[in-house]
């Protein structure tokens, strides 16, 4: 692009011009303000002044149709329509089996990679991960960029944590250690505004409602939010049928590690008795779903109970990995390969030396 040319009149000396060129153009004397804006100087057409009337007014995004509808769109200043992905709820209702990962690192880059890799959902784990609300938000931003649904697992089941998490706008929320229908009903109440629940309201300014831009938020949030209750103890298993049919509970998430610990098998989650207890819980959830339209069965894969095994037994959402675990395994294997290459290289050198000695003496 041609440089902006400032032409001095005959009355201006070069030394005077140099002095003023160190100042903004707005303070140049009139004799130095003949600015060339010709087409040859910029290679551009002269632009008309911008006025307020030049801008179209922006219409707030409206979720006037349910996001479970694949045709859900919104239109902005242009005529092109923006297609929204289906929600986790709608995909479960369509009979899909979803595959996800737990994020304990609270690393937005790993969250983004998980989304780009193709996981159907990512659980940001505030129960066992080190992060809090401020750490979770960048992860949700990264997942939103890849259009991957985020679920947040609470550190404990209480109204305060639920309120702060829901204001961030995840697509799902997971309540740990639910052991009774009463506890499940409380969990659901934490997710709903009065009179249906006890959730505190700041819907005009929080991320969940697109900071108040989504005018349809209050009409649709119950239909869009996936509520998950974890069964992680013997007591919970005993009441699993009742918990699974509580209104508003969408998923029963099995917790095999805590369940094994509650049974006295902390170091042996694959114990036969633990497996039998898991099968009892699974059967209860599946029966409640078939008979009363209850919750979907969801859970974690383990080394002795892989994702395909869970799918075969009727799980509709399977979490097959943890980000920290994946990195740990890759790092350990990487170091192991290098150490082994050093040993193998040393053996090769010894073999070469031995061959040389044998050749020398044989001659």
d(CA 106, CA 311): 28
Report DSSP state, residue 35: E
Tokens (6 digits) for 305: 């109970």
The CA-atom distances, in angstroms, between 296 and each of 180, 276, 310, 339 are 17, 20, 13, 46
Q: Give the max Cα distance, the chain.
A: 102
| 3-state secondary structure (DSSP) of residue 190 | helix
The DSSP element (H or E) to which 341 belongs, if any, is helix 323-362
Indicate if 316 belongs to the active site.
no
Contact between 183 and 235 under an 8 Å Cβ cutoff? The reply is no
Report DSSP state, residue 270: T
The values of phi and psi at residue 102, to 5°, are -95, 140
Nearest to 61 by CA among 168, 169, 225, 216: 216
Pairing verdict, β 172-175 and 226-231: parallel
d(CA 122, CA 153): 10
Residue 124: how many other CB atoms lie within 10 Å: 26
d(CA 267, CA 271): 9
Tokens (6 digits) for 72: 């859900």
Nearest to 310 by CA among 321, 324, 298: 298
d(CA 136, CA 283): 34
> Positive or negative CA dihedral for 295, 201, 82, 139?
negative
On the question of a cis peptide bond just before residue 362, with omega within 30 degrees of 0, the verdict is no
Q: Which residues are catalytic?
A: 128
């Amino acid at each position: 692009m041609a440089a902006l040319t400032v032409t001095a009149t005959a009355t201006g000396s070069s030394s005077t011009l140099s002095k003023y060129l160190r100042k903004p153009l707005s303070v140049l004397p009139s004799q130095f303000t003949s600015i060339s804006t010709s087409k040859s100087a910029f290679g551009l057409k002269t632009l008309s002044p911008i006025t307020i009337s030049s801008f179209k007014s922006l219409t707030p995004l409206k979720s006037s149709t349910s996001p479970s509808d694949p045709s859900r769109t919104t239109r902005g200043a242009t005529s092109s329509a923006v297609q929204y992905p289906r929600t986790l709820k709608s995909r479960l209702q369509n009979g899909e089996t979803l595959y996800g990962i737990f994020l304990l690192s609270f690393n937005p880059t790993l969250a983004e990679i998980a989304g780009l890799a193709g996981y159907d959902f990512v659980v940001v784990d505030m129960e066992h991960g080190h992060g809090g609300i401020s750490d979770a938000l960048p992860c949700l931003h990264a997942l939103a960029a890849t259009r991957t649904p985020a679920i947040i697992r609470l550190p404990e089941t209480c109204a305060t944590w639920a309120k702060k998490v829901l204001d961030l706008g995840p697509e799902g929320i997971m309540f740990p250690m639910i052991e009774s229908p009463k506890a499940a009903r409380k969990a659901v109440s934490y997710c709903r505004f009065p009179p249906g629940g006890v959730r505190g309201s700041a819907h005009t300014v929080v991320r969940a409602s697109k900071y108040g831009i989504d005018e349809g938020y209050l009409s649709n949030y119950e239909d869009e939010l996936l509520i998950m209750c974890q069964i992680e103890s013997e007591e919970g298993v005993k009441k699993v049928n009742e918990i699974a049919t509580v209104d508003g509970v969408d998923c029963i998430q099995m917790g095999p590690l805590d369940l094994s610990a509650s049974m006295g098998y902390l170091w042996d989650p694959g114990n036969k008795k633990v497996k039998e207890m898991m099968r009892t819980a699974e059967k209860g959830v599946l029966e409640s779903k078939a008979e009363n339209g209850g919750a979907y069965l969801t859970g974690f894969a383990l080394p002795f109970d892989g994702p395909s095994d869970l799918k075969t037994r009727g799980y509709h959402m399977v979490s097959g990995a943890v980000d920290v675990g994946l990195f740990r395994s890759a790092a350990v294997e990487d170091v192991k390969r290098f150490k082994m290459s050093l040993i193998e290289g040393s053996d090769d050198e010894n073999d070469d030396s031995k061959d040389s000695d044998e050749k020398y003496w044989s001659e």
